[in-house]
A and B are shown apart, each in its own frame.
Chain A
Amino acid sequence: MVERNDEPLAHKVAGYKPDLLLSEDHHLCPGCGEPLAVRMLLDAISELDAAQKTIGVVGIGCYTTFSATMDVDIIQALHGRAPSVATGAKRMRPECLVFTLQGDGDMVNEGLQEVLHTAARGESVTCVLLNNGVFGETGGHMTSTTVIGQRTKNSLEGRDAGYHGYPILIGDLIARLEGTAYAARGSVHNAAGVAQVRRMLKRAFETQLRGAGFTFVEVLTMCPTGWFVPTADGPGYMDKVLGSVHVIGELKART
Chain B
Amino acid sequence: MARRLMEGSEAIAAAAITAGCRFFAGYPMTPFTELLENFARQLPPVDGVCINAESELEAVGMAWGAVATGARAATGSTGQGLSLMQESLSEITRAELPLVVFNMARGQGDYFQATRGGGHGDYRHIVLAPVDLAEAVQLTQWAFHLAERWRNPVLIYGDYLLAHTSEAVDVTPIDFGELPVKTWAVDGTLGGSGSSRNVNPLGFEKGKRGIDPEAFWNRLAAKHEQIACEESRFEAEACDDADVVVVAFGTPARFARHVVREMCAEGLRVGHFRPITLWPFPAAALAKIAQRTKRIAVFEQNAGQMIDDVRLAVLAAAEVVPIGGISTDSSGFGVGPMLDVERIRGRVEAVMEIR
Residues of A within 8 A of B (CB): 19-20, 22-23, 25, 27, 45-46, 50-55, 57, 64-65, 67-78, 81, 83-93, 95-98, 113-114, 117
Contacts and interface: CB of A to CB of B under 8 A. Distances in A.
A92 B23 contact: yes
Interface stretch (B57-65, B167-175, B258-266, B326-334): B57-65
Q: Which 8 A-B pairs have the closest CB atoms?
A: A88-B65, A84-B61, A51-B191, A88-B66, A72-B191, A85-B65, A51-B192, A89-B65
A52 B67 CA distance: 20
28 contacts: A20-B191, A22-B194, A65-B210, A67-B200, A68-B209, A71-B196, A72-B196, A73-B198, A75-B186, A76-B95, A76-B200, A77-B61, A84-B57, A84-B62, A85-B68, A86-B65, A87-B61, A87-B62, A88-B65, A89-B69, A91-B51, A91-B65, A92-B65, A92-B70, A92-B73, A95-B188, A113-B54, A117-B54
Contacts of A65: 204, 210
Nearest to B193: A71
Nearest to B97: A75
A90 B22 CA distance: 13
Nearest to A79: B87
Given A78-B88, A88-B65, A67 B191 contact: no
Contacts of B201: 76, 78
Given A64-B202, A92-B69, A117 B196 contact: no
Contacts of B190: 52, 72-73
A54 B191 contact: yes
Contacts of B298: none
A231 to B, nearest CB: 23
Contact of B189 (A23, A53, A87, A117): A53
Contacts of B57: 81, 84, 113-114
A113 B208 contact: no
Contacts of A90: 65
Given A88-B61, A91-B49, A117-B54, A67 B204 contact: yes
Contact of B188 (A27, A71, A93): A93
Contacts of B335: none
Given A65-B204, A68-B206, A74-B186, A88 B191 contact: no
Contact of A68 (B71, B186, B207): B207
B295 to A, nearest CB: 46
Main secondary structure of the interface of A (DSSP, over half): mixed
Contact of B22 (A54, A55, A67, A92): A92
A88 B73 contact: yes
A64 B202 CA distance: 10
Nearest to B63: A88
A53 B58 contact: no
A91 B95 CA distance: 20
B192 A19 contact: yes
A113 B27 CA distance: 15
Contact of B199 (A46, A75, A114, A117): A75
Contacts of B53: 84
B71 A92 contact: yes
Contacts of A84: 53, 57-62, 64-65
A68 B204 contact: yes
A67 B204 CA distance: 7
B187 A93 contact: yes
Contacts of B64: 75, 77, 81, 84-85, 88
A113 B60 CA distance: 14
Nearest to B195: A71
A46 B191 CA distance: 10
A117 B58 contact: yes
A68 B65 contact: no
Given A22-B206, A69-B207, A81-B61, A45 B191 contact: yes
A20 B192 contact: yes
Given A22-B207, A85-B62, A92-B23, A78 B202 contact: no
A147 B99 CA distance: 40
Contacts of A98: 188
B207 A88 contact: no
B197 interface: yes
Contacts of B60: 84
B41 to A, nearest CB: 17
Given A76-B198, A76-B200, A92-B49, A55 B188 contact: yes
B25 interface: yes
A150 B201 CA distance: 34
B340 interface: no
A64 B23 CA distance: 27
B47 to A, nearest CB: 11
A85 B192 CA distance: 22
B166 interface: no
